[in-house]
Amino acid sequence: MNKLTTIAMAVVMLLCVACKEQPVPPEFIDKKSQKDIAMENLLTRRSVRQYTDQMPPKEVIEEICKAGMYAPTGMNRQSPIIIAVTNKEMRDSLSRLNARVLENDSIDPFYGAPVVLVVLADKDTSHTYLEDGSLVMGNLMNAAHAMGLGSCWIHRAKEVFETEEGKQILADLGIEGNYVGIGNCILGYVAGEYPKAKPRKDNWVYWVE
């Protein structure tokens, strides 16, 4: 390497360091914009039914699961669990079992999404298991949207985990307890056009002032 190249490389490196975006210290973050960002995320999340094959990074899926873990639960009993499936064989088995509930073996109810976060909740841990698990599902979908991923609640987890195959999946994972399937949160990168929100009905909110 000649002297000129070395100097040029040093200048480029210095420029890179100088230009690198510095994280904004929390005390300087405008609270209003935080609120706007949170609201926008809630209002723009949509159910996505078209995915690419690309697998999201594990750290992103972990972050999404973390959001699920911080959902409120009745008396903080934390009745739900999440089975994070990135394994294609298991993903396909769950899809097949789900399709079987629909009595239509020819479809993929997971719309080609590469990741499935199955939420189950222990009936014996809390009488609010269904609400607990549903709130976990909500957090997962909203967090996925915030992380730039598409998601959709795919139902019939209850029926799937009532089958012998479903029960065997839990047993093989060493999951013991009276777990009921709440929902499957499918995840992946959005393919095609991002869906638009349907109009809201008129009588959503009744005010008592």
Ligand X SMILES: Cc1cc2nc3c(=O)[nH]c(=O)nc-3n(C[C@H](O)[C@H](O)[C@H](O)COP(=O)(O)O)c2cc1C
Does residue 154 interact with ligand X by CB under 6 A? yes
Q: In the complex, what is the shortest distance from the CB of residue 180 to ligand X, in angstroms, rounded to a whole number?
A: 14
Build a one-symbol-per-residue string for 88-127: x at contacts with ligand X by CB under 6 A, - elsewhere: ----------------------------------------
Does position 49 bind ligand X by CB under 6 A?
yes
Q: CB of 154: closest distance to ligand X in angstroms?
A: 4
Nearer to ligand X, 197 or 205 (CB): 197
Kind and range of the H or E run holding 19: helix 3-19
Among the listed residues 6, 34, 44, 47, the single contact to ligand X using CB under 6 A: 47
* Binder of ligand X out of 77, 155, 158, 167 (CB under 6 A): 155
- Residue 80 neighbours by CB under 8 Å, 6+ apart: 68, 71, 73, 119, 120, 121, 122, 129, 132, 133, 136, 182
As measured in angstroms, the least distance from the Cβ of 159 to ligand X is 11
Q: How far apart are CA 160 and CA 158, in angstroms?
A: 6
98 exposure class (CB count in 10 Å sphere: 0-12, 13-18, 19+): buried
Segment near ligand X (CB under 6 A); pick from 7-15, 23-31, 152-160, 161-169: 152-160
Separation of alpha carbons 107 and 57, rounded Å: 27
Kindly state the tokens that stand for 209: 């002032």
Which residues make up the interface to ligand X (CB under 6 A)? 46-47, 49, 152-155, 195, 197
